[in-house]
Amino acid sequence: RKEVEQDPGPFNVPEGATVAFNCTYSNSASQSFFWYRQDCRKEPKLLMSVYSSGNEDGRFTAQLNRASQYISLLIRDSKLSDSATYLCVVRGNSGNTPLVFGKGTRLSVIA
C-alpha cells in the first residue's frame, strides 16, 4: 500500500465549479500535512498547510481527519488558472523525516 494515496484524475471541470480532492495516508505517526500545487514541468509549490481544525485560504479549504487518516482540499469558484496537479503531502515528526508525496491529482478547468 502506498504511503499517500490520491485519485489521479484527471478532473475536468467548468469555470466556476466546486471541486474536491481526497487523500489518505497510511502512517499514523504523520504529523504535518500539506497540499502542494505543481504546474506542468515545474517544481511543486506549497499551496497550504492542513490543520486538524481545518483551514481556509480564499477559495481553498483544507480538512484533516486524523482518525480516518484522510485529508481533503476543496476549491470553490474554479478559475482557469487553477489548472494544475495537486499533490497531497505528509511528514513525520522527527527531524530527518522527509516530505512524502502522493502521486497527485490533475485538475483541468475548462472555459
Q: Is 104 in the site for another protein (CB under 8 A)?
A: yes
Q: Is 44 in the site for another protein (CB under 8 A)?
A: yes
Virtual torsion, Cα 11, 88, 65, 55, nearest 10 deg: -90
The answer for residues whose C-beta is within 8 angstroms of residue 104's C-beta and 6 or more apart is: 6, 8, 38, 85, 86, 87, 88
The footprint of another protein on residues 72-101 (CB under 8 A) is 87, 91, 95-101
Taking the complex as a whole, the smallest distance from the CB of residue 103 to another protein amounts, in Å, to 5
* Residue for grid cell 474536491: 20
Contact 63, 54 (CB under 8 A): yes
CA 107 to chain centre: 11
| Among the listed residues 28, 29, 43, 111, the single contact to another protein using CB under 8 A | 43
Mode of pairing for the β-strands spanning 44-49 and 32-38: antiparallel
Taking the complex as a whole, the smallest distance from the CB of residue 9 to another protein amounts, in Å, to 11
Number of residues interacting with another protein: please give it, by CB under 8 A.
20
Beta carbon nearer to another protein, 8 or 16: 8
Q: Is 40 in the site for another protein (CB under 8 A)?
A: no
The residue ranges that bind another protein (CB under 8 A) are 4, 8, 41-46, 87, 91, 95-104
